[in-house]
Structure 1
Amino acid sequence: MERRDLTPREEALYRLVLEQGQMPVADATQLVGDKDALAYLLEFGLLAVDPEFPDVVAAGDPELAAARQSSRVLKEVVRDLLWVSRLPQSTASLTKQYIRAQESQSGAIEVVTGTPAIDQRLSMLLESCQERMLTIHPEATRPSATLQSVIGRDLDAVRRGADVRMLYLTPVRRQSAAQAYVEAVTAAGAGVRTLAHLPQRQFVIDDTVIIPYNGDISGAVFIQDPSTVTALARIFEVLWQLGEDFMPRPGQEAPIDKTLLTVMRMLVDGMSTRQIARNLQLSERMVTRIRAEINEEYGTDSAIRLGWLLHERFPNGIN
């Protein structure tokens, strides 16, 4: 039935029937001049037909009628909520077909904008990843929340037998969250190496490459052109051969970036951030970040204290 408030005519008709106790249907319709008003009150439960006299209506309890309508509506709401909760699962296969159709229609190169759309496409590729997942992360840090959100996904790819390898910047190896993540994925069979410099962010997932659109991570280019995919995968392999294992082998100390060592030596020599930046042709912001990494690793921001610590670690001097 229609969900609405009672009209003035419907209320008037109910009061007339209530005052008289009973009323013939014909009289009720004639008094109000509206057949729909009588039909609505009967459907609502405010009026009821006398079983012994079908042509006569009587007034019902408004509270009972309202309770019955409320119960009916609540049942419909629960049914609708259950239906809504099933929608994502019931349309999942159609979503996959839609994306495949979009890919076939858009060609070998497609630009996707917006984080939600990119995440959806990337998640679907990773869920079906069977052969390889080669990733390059040129960020100086890997946030703990990010690593926690992807570790399950990456482990699943390893367990499916995919070749999972990642390249990080050297400073990332000093982050405790990254160390815990790498320890978990390498124990499962993944490979993680580091380099002092890396090109742009890149994913090679089976036969698809994903790179930022014009250097902006809010947009992504999904490439399925075989020649391009092969070329970018080969670039990854070259970088991989140049990289150092993230987790050092037993008895082997983790390598230290040459720039980091040079900055250490200059700090001990008393140079300022501006002097170091000028001598190494780096930005002051970059030198400040490197100094922060040194302070965190050695637990001191004192050049004198740093000098003593470095002398203990490198008794023959920093070359």
Structure 2
Amino acid sequence: MGEMGIGEGDRPTLLPDEVAAYELIAHGGDPGGLPVDGLLAAQFVAPDAHHPGHYIPLDPRVAGQRIIAQERAALERALSRLSEIPDLTDQLATHFDPHRYYGGPSSEFLGDKAAMNARIGQVIGDSSNELYTAQPGQPEARDPAVVRLGIARSQEVLARGVKVRTLYPVSAHAHAPTRAYVEEIIAAGAEVRLHSGPFPRMVLVDRRNLFIDNHVIDSETNAGWHVVDRSAVMWAREVFLMFWHRSGRWQDVAGASETVTTGRQRQILHELTAGLSQQQVGARVGLSNRAVAKELAALRDALGFETLYQVLAWWGGSPEAQLP
């Protein structure tokens, strides 16, 4: 294709013949057979209504300013469209097949609780070495059906000789259904510990499979991931063991019946002495601000203190601070 004049394409220049035509018109002449379409489109010339076939020259500086304004407006529209592309693609990506878009050879996206439980059950059913689980949620918030499923799975793998370790928050010890379940699987050979601070939810199977919560797709709050990348699985296993070795045995807490504090109160106090505010503690331990305040008020009453500062001073020298 040949070059095009201003107004007919993207090039803000004139062809040599168009420049020659403008020169003739500006000097009162006839352009003859020279092209004038580009001059007309850019308004460098205008038809002479009184002399058909003749043209009137217009000030090129005025036309130039008009072309600059048009190009700037077009550029602004293009930039605006470009700025919208990332938001548009992110919006559409959430509807694209998550298994294909977010997953890969080393990870699988599981879009809801049912899919997570099904895949976990399948992997645990084939386990032969170890099953490590970390359950940071408050026990009363757990789905009873999922808890029963966990009991059955633990009993099954223990019967096959699989090593089972489970990590709970200290508040789990005060929850009667969880206590009954834990005592049952401990009797069957499982190890259970209680941790006083926050820790991540995970399920590790045979050093080859890792199940974690979804932190990729914001809209999928009940989703999760099945990870089989060996380096990621083994790194997560080290994270689990780090929390495990800093946690207390369930049996040791069960024997500490003469304590003033409850497991949940100790969990709150550990966070407060780590420097968190009372409002921040609630988010860390999975309680509302009101529930945190209620627990601290109950502890003040039990100790006979009037202020939280007195509680923290007592806590700093209390042997109960060594309990999970």
Question: So what's the TM-score if we normalise by structure 1?
Answer: 0.51
Structure 1 spans left out of the alignment, 5+ residues? 1-101, 265-276, 296-300
Question: Residue by residue, what CA displacement relative to the aligned partner does 1:190-249 show, whole Å, maximum 9, x if unpaired?
Answer: 111111223321110121101112175522211111111111111111111001112227
Residues 252, 200 of structure 1: alpha-carbon distance in 2 compared, 3 angstrom cutoff? closer
**Match of residue 209 from structure 2:** 208
Question: Residue by residue, what CA displacement relative to the aligned partner does 1:24-55 show, whole Å, maximum 9, x if unpaired?
Answer: xxxxxxxxxxxxxxxxxxxxxxxxxxxxxxxx
SS at match of 2:199: coil
Contact 2:132 2:164 in 1 (8 A): yes
Listed as ranges, the matches of 1:42-191 within 5 Å are 106-142=104-140, 143=142, 145=144, 146-191=146-191
Contact 1:158 1:190 in 2 (8 A): yes
SS at match of 1:129: coil
Contact 1:165 1:190 in 2 (8 A): yes
**Match of residue 222 from structure 2:** 218
The percentage of counterpart residues that share the same residue type is 18
SS at match of 2:251: coil
Distance 1:108 1:236 in 2: 20
Residues 167, 293 of structure 1: alpha-carbon distance in 2 compared, 3 angstrom cutoff? farther
Distance 1:232 1:195 in 2: 17
Shift of 1:318: 4.5
SS at match of 1:218: coil
Shift of 1:177: 1.1
Shift of 1:123: 1.3
Contact 1:169 1:196 in 2 (8 A): yes
Distance 1:119 1:249 in 2: 30
**Match of residue 195 from structure 1:** 195
Structure 2 spans left out of the alignment, 5+ residues? 1-99, 306-310, 317-324
Question: Residue by residue, what CA displacement relative to the aligned partner does 1:96-153 show, whole Å, maximum 9, x if unpaired?
Answer: xxxxxx9xx9512111213332222111112112111111111122547242332111
Distance 1:167 1:262 in 2: 17
Which residue identity does 1:108 align to in structure 2?
S
**Match of residue 66 from structure 1:** none
Residues 166, 283 of structure 1: alpha-carbon distance in 2 compared, 3 angstrom cutoff? closer
Contact 1:147 1:177 in 2 (8 A): no
SS at match of 1:134: strand
Distance 1:153 1:193 in 2: 18
User: Which residue of 290, 301, 309 maps to 1:288?
Assistant: 290
Question: So what's the TM-score if we normalise by structure 2?
Answer: 0.50
SS at match of 1:290: helix
SS at match of 2:164: strand
SS at match of 1:120: helix
Richer in helix (by share): 1
Contact 1:136 1:198 in 2 (8 A): no
Distance 1:197 1:303 in 2: 21
Which residue identity does 2:246 align to in structure 1?
L
Residues 131, 317 of structure 1: alpha-carbon distance in 2 compared, 3 angstrom cutoff? same
